[in-house]
Structure 1
Amino acid sequence: MVALLTTLGIVLFFLGLLLSLAWHELGHLATAKMFGIRCTQYFVGFGKTLWSVRKGDTEYGIKLIPLGGFVRMVGMIPPARNRGETSSGKPMSRWRAMIEDARAANQTELEPGDEDRQFYQRAPWKRLIVMFAGPGMNLILAVVLFAVAMMGIGVLTPTSTVAEVSECVVPSSATSRDCAADADPTPAAEAGMKAGDRIVAVNGTEAPDNNAASSLIRDTTGPATITVERDGERMDLKANLVENEMPKRDASGEVVYKTDADGEFVTNDQGQRVAEIETAGFLGVYFTNTRQPLSAGETAGEIGTMAVGVGKALVALPSKVPEVFGAAFLGHERQIDSPVGIVGASRIGGEVLAQPVPWQDRAVILLNLLAGVNMFLFAFNMVPLLPLDGGHILGALWESVRRGFAKLFKRPDPGPFDVAQLMPVAYVVFIAFACFSVMLLVADLFNPVRLT
């Protein structure tokens, strides 16, 4: 059954990733057609064509390598004003030749009737919309998936109901919950507390929720009266709370994690955050969790926090290259926070679906994972470098600025921004991305990130 669920999870998450890529390209296609730009191809994947069908001007299909997708629009590069030789009459440099080769390749798709259907001929604001529509679709999908997970299914929220009573006092630094022969029993066990008891007060102070109950317990040492509700009736239990080392928590009950001098979280060898430790009152119980739907405002706040995390991950991506290379080719241990590709993400999806936990937990994790991928696709594609969408957006913005200054100072229209000038940079970015994708693929196949 585990193997079946794992396979099903891999397939479902892989299809979710492909749909995310198709959804991204649909944004480009729909807006381009809306502005009268001829689109010759709409494909998910690269390489050999597995299936395609032509409808109108556009060929729709799926290619062999599912590492992205594309919409091919005519006239992405404007014609050159001066072609052939440089102004001094000398032959073109290699850089210039590379630019003109890209321009010539772009012109080969032009057909009779395309004279006014080319991308560069549209106003900068229209081109900006076309290029933003792709990552924008990923952002929309991410928000929808996060909302379904948080507002529809809900997030796990601790309650003040006891799920389990610990038998002995174990410090938070211990790697096992097993009791040593000389371990002291917990105050909760000595007081006769049972699973199902709901803590409603500590020393007469009401505890309406988990955060209040936990705070009161942590602030108390020595003899204490713990009021619980059992089978609908209140009863007082006498407990002698002891001091113990536990993860530090803030005023809202969230765990406080260690940070370094740069404000970055400190992690252990497995890439997990390290909590700050403090000495506090200890009762010895584990509380139950229940799923509580978040409000729209709370969901927006959580999505904002995740967006910041995605931004930090994108900035840190170049620093992860040596780690991925070591994991792929040198046998180094793969960290839990290592980047993953489509294969690695799909494998994680299969591992999640096979976990022996309630279906709501698995659904929430899968939805959040897919939403996180879409948010990263949005952020990554907005990087202002060709061939990414952000590079074209930057070109459209720069053209608007140039034309605005020309109009302000009554100068001749400078014409469309020649995006071909940046094609050599685009080649470098493409090669770097392709090499990184190969490293990720090798690492995901032979040294994958494992959640368990």
Structure 2
Amino acid sequence: MTFWIGVLAVAVGLMISIALHEIGHLLPAKRFGVRVPQYFVGFGPTVWSRRRGETEYGVKAIPLGGFVRMIGMFPPARETLSEDAAVEQRLRSRGIRGWARNVAEDARAVSLEEVGPGDDKRAFYQLSTPKKLAVMFGGPVVNLILSALLFTIILSVIGLPTLATSTVSRVMPCVASATGETCPDGVEDSPSALAGFEQGDTIVSWGGTPTEDWADVSSAIRSGGTDPVEVVVDRDGEQVTLTVTPALVERPVYDAETGEPVVDADGTQVTEEVPYVGLVALAARERQPVTAVPGVVGEQLRLTAGVVLTLPQRLVSIAQSLFGDAERDPNIVGIIGVGRAAGDLTEASAESGFLSQLTNILLILASLNMALFVFNMIPLPPLDGGHIAGALYEGARRQVARWRDRPDPGFADTAKLMPLTYGVVVLFLGMFVLLAAADILKPVAFT
């Protein structure tokens, strides 16, 4: 049940994020006088809708996006042909070039169908370049603001778990990864269980060295090796001395700067033997000042942009893992993987309490909103970045004409990009199917 609560919470949060993204387009469009016939969250058949003024607001059955339909997205063709000439031109169109021309003409026709009498100045293409940019930037910027707001709540309101104390949260019963209440046959009792540690013990000193937080404890364990060591703990106000003998276990090696696993020339995970006791620290929540948020948001933006910029090779890697023996890239998942992450992390943090579950859900939503911002800024139609690129091109061309004292070149014929739009849509559908298959057949482990 906890799993599905996490999935539902993230699904609702994602739908709200999408709805607010579309409002980011809707409000400036209406402010600048553009007529907006429809505002919908989702795609496919309409589940619910209601008209307010000239705009129909509603929800559709497939919750994988949303749209704001504005009249006159594409300007009319510069050269107007008679109806007979247009039909003749279409009949003579051959090959890819002819198909592209016809697709552009169809897009213009559909775009201008709703531009009726009195709407000449209310079409999107009539907006100035700054206003077009405000409308198209509005959606992604809302996602960026939402991401920053969610990170602010996580860092400065709830606080993140930190190992700022030396208190024991859990005593592992067995060596290495065994986590049951009793140890399976052949698995040794953990050194901490043998030594008599109890949940709630606060470690005062380790081998005679005072410990103030868990970093001190970890450092003392690693430097002490496997020799027996005396540990003083505070247990219900009384100091108790325990003797523990750490065991050696193999652990993977991680790069100190990137946090990525270290592999050798053959691609094998590098491991090392380290002293193991079997104590889990009690994480105390610590709130960060609001001034720490911009740095976290900037780092998340950098990491997300890095993933998006390397998306093609990452998708190739995922295809190789799906159809071969290569390991799955854990940094990119589809909508199914996001749902699995929400459920797994919510379920895994159930013992830690509601705040831990809430933090995990908010972290997922903050990351998703950052991904929506970065992804939508890709300068390809039909993404917002494609419309932004078109508006910038139009504005730059007009500015150059002014500098050279030449006539206004007019609106950029962005309808010519429709063939590219169809190609991008096909690629995105392929990516969606690939990630869905990988999420099902080779899922990423989130706990």
Residues 253, 261 of structure 2: 8 Å contact kept: no
Partner deviation per Cα, 1:139-179 (whole Å, 9 max, x = no partner): 111222222233222222223112344567x4x5x677848
> CA–CA distance in 2 between the matches of 1:199 and 1:238?
12
1:378-405 Cα offsets, whole Å, 9 max, x none, are 1111100001000011112222222222
Match of 1:385 in 2: 380
The answer to whether structure 1 residue 394 and structure 2 residue 399 are counterparts is no
Is the aligned partner of 1:231 residue 2:217? no
1:267 Cα deviation after fit: 9.6
Deviation at 1:82, TM superposition (A): 2.0
Structure 2 CA distance for aligned equivalents of residues 128 and 343 of structure 1? 33
Choose which of 2, 9, 15 in structure 2 pairs with 1:12.
9
Q: Is the 8 A contact 1:44 1:68 kept in 2?
A: yes
The 3-state SS of whatever aligns with 2:74 is: coil
Measured at CA, do residues 217 and 127 of structure 1 come closer, stay the same or move farther in structure 2, by a change above 3 Å? same
Confirm or deny that 1:50 pairs with 2:44. no
Q: Is the 8 A contact 1:218 1:280 kept in 2?
A: yes
Cα distance change of structure 1 residues 124 and 287 upon mapping to structure 2, 3 Å threshold: same
The structure where helix makes up a greater share of residues is 2
Amino acid at match of 1:82: E
Aligned counterparts of 2:255 and 2:238: Cα–Cα separation in 1: 32
- Other-structure match for 1:271: none
Contact 1:219 1:280 in 2 (8 A): no
Counterparts in 2 of 1:39-438, with a 5 A limit? 39-84=36-81, 93-94=97-98, 95-158=100-163, 159-165=165-171, 170=175, 178=183, 186=191, 188=192, 193-221=197-225, 222=227, 224-234=229-239, 245-246=250-251, 256-259=259-262, 277-319=271-313, 321=315, 335=328, 337=330, 339-342=332-335, 344-346=337-339, 348-355=341-348, 356-357=350-351, 358-438=353-433
Alignment partners' CA distance in 1, 2:433 and 2:186: 53
Q: What secondary structure is seen at the aligned counterpart in 2 of 1:120? A: helix
Q: List gaps (5 residues or longer) in structure 1.
A: 269-273
Deviation for aligned residue 1:362: 1.6
Q: 1:73, 1:118 within 8 Å by CA — same for their partners in 2? A: yes
**Alignment coverage as a number of residue pairs:** 431
Could you say if the C-alpha distance between residues 284 and 353 of structure 1 is closer, same or farther in structure 2, counting changes exceeding 3 Å? Answer: closer
Match for 2:301: what amino acid? A
Q: Which segment drifts farther, 43-52 or 317-326? A: 317-326
CA offsets, 1:174-214, max 9 Å, x none? 6778487695973x566654433222334554322111232
Q: Is the 8 A contact 1:156 1:291 kept in 2?
A: yes
Q: Cα RMSD over matched residues?
A: 3.9
Equivalents in 2 of 1:249, 1:81: separation in Å? 60
**1:54-100: CA deviation from partner (whole Å, max 9, x where unpaired):** 222211112222221111112211122124489xx995541222212
Identity across the alignment (%): 40
Question: For residues 300 and 176 of structure 1, do their structure 2 counterparts lie closer, same or farther at Cα, with a shift above 3 Å needed?
Answer: same
CA distance in 2: counterparts of 1:182 and 1:344, whole angstroms:
33
Deviation at 1:46, TM superposition (A): 1.8
Measure the CA separation in 2 of the matches of 1:327 and 1:279: 29
Question: Per-residue deviation at 1:8?
Answer: 4.1
CA contact 1:338–1:449 (8 Å) conserved in 2:
no
Contact 2:251 2:274 in 1 (8 A): yes
Deviations 1:269-323 (A, max 9, x none): xxxxx6x644455554332222222332444433333333322332344345467
Cα shift at 1:451: 4.7
TM-score by length of 2: 0.81
TM-superposition CA deviations, 1:391-448 (whole Å, max 9, x none) = 0111122222222222223222222222112111011111222343355556667886
How far did residue 373 of structure 1 move? 1.6
Answer yes or no: is the 8 Å Cα contact 1:28–1:71 preserved in 2. yes
